[in-house]
Amino acid sequence: MAAFLVAEARYYPHLNDMLLAGAKAAIAAAGHTHEVVTVPGALELPGAIAIANESGQYAGFVALGIVIRGETFHFEIVAQESARALMDLTLEGLAIGNGILTVENEQQAIVRADPAQGDKGGDAARAAIALFDLAGRFAA
């Protein structure tokens, strides 16, 4: 049993609840435990994970958030920079599942976040667990 940290950008609470439910269910189904921390937005997720990693308490991390396209270039910055920073941390050896949805509208977010439909929160948790398992395989 390993402990995973679910870091969520809770900008859209009603949508995040679905992502979080999927992630929690996937972690529990794999026999692991989890804690949840909340940050204001997707850009803060990589920082939160980097800070939490320093504690040595977690086997892996799940980043959850939703970025909905607006009328400005901000969408592209948030989507690209949060993904890039999470990838940088992954390449440093952290087991991270990226569950940051980048969508055009709320309806797309619902379809992807809902555990009964897209279950992207669960997918992100399963990705983190897969990377954790892979690290264990190569450490042995």
pLDDT tens readout for residues 88-111: 999 999 999 999 999 999 999 999
| Residue 27 binned pLDDT confidence (cut-offs 50, 70, 90) | very high
Catalytic entry in 14, 32, 34, 74? 74
Helix 13-29 to helix 106-113 angle (10° resolution) is 20
74 catalytic, yes or no?
Answer: yes
Residues forming beta bridges with residue 38, ordered by sequence position: 8
How far is 30 from 41, CA to CA, in rounded Å? 28
Coil/strand/helix, residue 46: helix
The pLDDT of residue 72: 84
pLDDT in tens, 32-89: 999 999 999 999 999 999 999 999 999 999 999 999 998 888 889 999 999 999 999 9
Q: Tell me if 126 is assigned to a ligand binding site.
A: no
pLDDT at 56: 97
Residue 42 counted as an annotated binding residue: yes
